[in-house]
Structure 1
Amino acid sequence: MNHKLRFLIPLLFLAVGISAQQRRLTIKDSLTNEALPYASINLLNGFGLFTDDNGQVTLEKDAPKTIKITYMGYASKEVALDKLTNPIIFLQPEANALSEVKVVNKKGNGKRKDFTVKPQLHDNINKMYWSSIGQQYAFYIPNTKKDGILKSITIPLIVKDIHQGMAEDPFETNPYGTMVNIAFMTNANQLPDKKLNDFEKKVVIQSNTIKDQITVNFDQEIEMPDDGLFVTFTIIGKTNKQGNYQPEMPYVIQEFDKKKKVKIILPNYALVEAPKGQLTYYRNVFSNITKWERITRPMVYKNEKEYPFLNVGIGYTFSGY
């Protein structure tokens, strides 16, 4: 590999060992006592993780002393861990103003037809982007037909990881899954704005069976607003062999300088130069910066090279008249 190539973010490091000073928390609904799966645990240092199916999470001894817990439809709560006497933390429900996903039975002029936009695929690791826990992507889909209903999306992926640019084997040889949460946001002047409806779908991408694309079919028919919508991908984290999410700290700490290094996980996305592909934004849900950003350079880049904006060439199928 060219010695002038650099990484946009550090390489993976091995997970830290289990410590007796770990703290296990459970997040529950204050009214029903039900566990809240995939609640957001913001470590308030630019990193975070999510609770598992049982609303539980284990924090390492080096976790910050204060965390912020959020869950859609509930009031957020900041918790001082050194003052916590009960490992169960309750969140207060709020009124949820989100609309439900509806099956649309509109009658147009003529027979409803399916329309498909094909994904733009390639396997060039010098034109790919990455995933980490809490990383969120938004892909714009316009509504080009009357009474459009989104039926599926196809995301172009790159099977290789960045380590394979320097060696034959991937960095992680043990197969694992990555859980991704799919949802929708409204379009406001070509920017993701608010959560569109109450739809969410968890998908697990397996590293040992991953192909050059993944297609997600929607069980419910997603009505497309006149000005289109954004499909969001939020990286939850790794899963076990059974496909169950296993919370883990999103970083490791280097021994020699005590700096935090982000853990990179699959999937990797195939990039295309704008205006090709679908308008793509990204951010990290645990960052203090909530602004959506464009992809300005790939995961592996040359310092002296100027890059255009980059998109992910997702495909999709929708029906309309």
Structure 2
Amino acid sequence: MRNQKPLKLLLFVMFKKIINVLLFLLLHISFSKAYSQEHYLIVKDSITKETLPYTSINLQNGYGLFTDENGKVTLDKDIPKTIKITHIGYSSRMVSIDTLIDNVVLLQPETNVLNEMKIPVTRKDLKKRKEYVVKPSLHDNIDEMYWSSIGQQFAFYIPNEKGNGVLKSVTIPLIVKDLYQGMADSSFEEHPYGTMVRFEFMSNSDKLPGAKLYGCDKVFVIQSDKVSQKVEVKFEESIPVPDEGFFVVMTVIGKTNEKGEYVPEMPYGVREVHGEKKKFIKIILPNYPLVEAPKGPLTLFRHVFDSSEKWRKIDRPMVYKKGKEYPVYNIGIGYVISAY
């Protein structure tokens, strides 16, 4: 009788250990199964075989994400079977996930992409050149404010008003206010983060963005805890302004980590409404002050994950009243051109 208590205790301990081992195995099997059902792919140039960073992965349902700086992206097991791969300057591709070979997608460069033009500048020319500055339009009126989301794309028209002009920089005006009309002085969210944007250049086709110009682009990170009224983006390459002008295209890629690296994520969150799960678009920094057209450079926008690739004008602010008529707006960017 005296040995029954220790025996029961020993059996209980052994039983508990067995249960813990079984739970661990079940979790490991579930995790392995879920992981094996994930898909990843790498996007490359079909000719050079170089990876294409920040390529658009359109899930064909109004959502999508971008590849990382190495052209790679991991896709959740619940994504549609067919997706659309898009990169400015390349022909888009529809891809079936189940038929991928070696998880690599090759994109064909478009033949109408214009090569970068080099403008030879001698010392004598440098003395003749002058910088022409267009100042950005700044204000902090939250009733005339626009927003950013992952995949949002803006096109700003830069006219050719100076001979042999070269674009040196653009200045993007910002509003330091959050989505909910709060009076935040420094950060849009509790934990500061960076928002990666990419700048590219497209031809002017009857006041609409046309073919990609030049072979260069610029990736820039806007830090939420360092947001002020404006941010200047300088271009080290020679960016000639064509006779008919051109468009500077800015794409909102998404958030970055502490190292400044882009972290691919879905552009939506999920919340439960009346017992049903609903998707909602993630609004991220930055926000932009709007100016009534024709003030400010012509501004067009679109969303790279939309089914339509049509560029549109901004016809109302971020927060608007139903039934109220609004003018056409621009985002009053500034820019610097070096010319004679």
SS of 1:216 mapped into structure 2: strand
Q: Which residue among 239, 258, 261 is the counterpart of 1:222?
A: 239
1:70 and 1:76 in contact (8 A); partners too: yes
CA drift at 1:304: 3.7
2:117 is matched with 102
**1:36 alignment counterpart:** 52
Shift of 1:286: 1.6
The Cα shift of 1:105 comes to 2.5
2:96 pairs with 1:77:
no
- Within-5 A mapping of 1:177-216: 177-216=194-233
1:89 is aligned to: 104
**How high is the TM-score relative to the length of structure 1?**
0.85
Superposed counterparts of 1:252-271, under 5 Å? 252-256=269-273, 257-271=276-290
Distance 1:258 1:64 in 2: 18
**Gap regions ≥5 residues in structure 1:** 1-17
Residue 317 (structure 1) aligned with residue 332 (structure 2): no
**Normalization by structure 2: what TM-score?**
0.81
Rg (Cα) greater in structure: 2
CA shift, 1:49, in A, is 0.8
Shift of residue 265 of structure 1?
Answer: 0.9
Q: 1:105 to 1:191 in 2, by over 3 A?
A: same
- Point out the more displaced range, 238-247 or 29-38: 29-38
Give the equivalent residue in structure 1 for 2:319.
300
1:62 corresponds to = 78
Quote the offset at 1:297 in angstroms: 0.5
* C-alpha displacement of 1:88: 1.6
Which residue among 165, 169, 179 is the counterpart of 1:148? 165
DSSP 3-state at the match of 1:268: strand
Question: AA paired with 1:113?
Answer: K
- Residues 45-56 of structure 1 aligned to structure 2 (within 5 Å): 45-56=61-72
State the shift of 1:305 in Å: 2.3
Distance in 2, Cα, partners of 1:159 & 1:131: 13
**How many Å separate the matches in 1 of 2:267 and 2:112?**
31
Match of 2:268 among 241, 251, 260: 251
Question: Which piece of structure 1 moves more, 194-203 or 21-30?
Answer: 21-30
DSSP-derived class of the 1:231 partner:
strand
Secondary structure at the aligned position of 1:126 is classed as helix
Runs of 5+ in structure 2 lacking a partner? 1-30
The 1:148–1:169 alpha-carbon spacing in structure 2 relative to 1, beyond 3 Å, is: closer
Larger strand proportion, structure 1 or 2?
Answer: 1
Q: Which is worse superposed, 23-32 or 303-312?
A: 23-32
Q: State the Cα RMSD in Å.
A: 2.7
Contact 1:26 1:56 in 2 (8 A): yes
Distance 1:205 1:115, change over 3 A: same
**Residues 226 and 36 of structure 1, relative CA distance in 2, 3 Å threshold:** closer
Worse-matched range after superposition: 98-107 or 236-245? 98-107
Instruction: For 1:12-31, list aligned pairs within 5 A.
Output: 20=34, 23-29=38-44
Q: Is the 8 A contact 1:157 1:213 kept in 2?
A: yes
Q: Give the SS at the match of 1:300.
A: coil
Counting helix residues as a fraction of each chain, which structure ranks higher?
2
Q: Secondary structure at the match of 2:132?
A: strand
| 1:277 CA drift (Å) | 1.0
Question: 2: CA distance between counterparts of 1:58 and 1:235?
Answer: 19
Cα separation, 1, equivalents of 2:191 and 2:198: 23
Q: What is the one-letter code of the residue matched to 1:291?
A: K
Structure 2 CA distance for aligned equivalents of residues 293 and 189 of structure 1:
14
Task: Tell me if the contact between 1:122 and 1:158 (Cα under 8 Å) persists in the aligned partners.
Answer: yes
